[in-house]
Amino acid sequence: MKVLAIDDQQLVLLPLEKRLLELGYEVKTETDASKGLELYDTFHPDLVIVDINMPGVSGLDVVKHIRIAKHSDTPIMILSGNTKDDTITEAFELGINDYMKKPLSLNEICARVKRLIGVPQIDNAIHSKSNVMIQQRCVGVVIPCYDEEERLLSDEFLNFVDENSGYHLCFVNDGSKDKTLEVLHNLQKGREDFITVYDCEKNGGKAEAVRLGMLHMAKKEDLDYIGFLDADLSTDLTDFDDLVKTIENSDFKIVSGSRISRMGADITKESARKIISLTINFIIRKILAMDFKDTQCGAKIFSKDVIGIAFTEKFVTQWIFDVEIFKRMSIHFGLKKAKAMLCEQPLKRWIHADGSKLSMKDSVKIVGQLAQIAWVYRSKKENVKATASNNLEVASL
Per-residue model confidence as pLDDT tens digits over 74-120: 999 999 988 899 999 999 999 999 999 988 899 999 999 999 999 88
The bridge status of strand 225-229 relative to strand 299-303 is: antiparallel
Q: Which helix or strand (DSSP H or E) is residue 248 part of?
A: helix 237-248
pLDDT score of 44: 95
pLDDT at position 302 over 90:
yes
Position 203 confidence tier, pLDDT thresholds 50, 70, 90? very high
Contact 137, 168 (CB under 8 A): no
Does pTM top 0.95 for this prediction?
A: no
The per-residue pLDDT for range 358-369, each reduced to its tens digit, is 555 666 677 777
pLDDT at position 167 over 90:
yes
pLDDT score of 79: 94
Position 228 confidence tier, pLDDT thresholds 50, 70, 90? very high
Alpha carbon 218 to its chain's center: 10
pLDDT at position 16 over 90:
yes
Alpha helix stretches (DSSP H) within 23-82: 33-43, 59-64
Position 284 confidence tier, pLDDT thresholds 50, 70, 90? confident
Highest-scoring range by mean pLDDT, 145-154, 172-181, 356-365: 172-181
Strand order in the sheet with 299-303: 195-200, 167-174, 139-145, 225-229, 299-303, 254-258, 342-346
pLDDT score of 336: 93
Position 378 confidence tier, pLDDT thresholds 50, 70, 90? confident
Count Cβ atoms within 10 A of the Cβ of residue 36 and give its class: 0-12 exposed, 13-18 middle, 19 or more buried.
buried
What is the DSSP code (8-state) at residue 146?
A: S
pLDDT score of 352: 58
pLDDT score of 347: 86
pLDDT at position 126 over 90:
no
pLDDT at position 152 over 90:
no
pLDDT at position 392 over 90:
no
What is the spatial distance between Cα 206 and Cα 369, in angstroms, rounded to a whole number? 15
pLDDT score of 263: 43
Q: Which of 210, 162, 212 is nearest to 187 (CA)?
A: 162
Position 389 confidence tier, pLDDT thresholds 50, 70, 90? low
| Mean pLDDT lowest among 112-121, 234-243, 377-386 | 377-386
The per-residue pLDDT of the chain, averaged, comes to 86
pLDDT at position 373 over 80:
yes
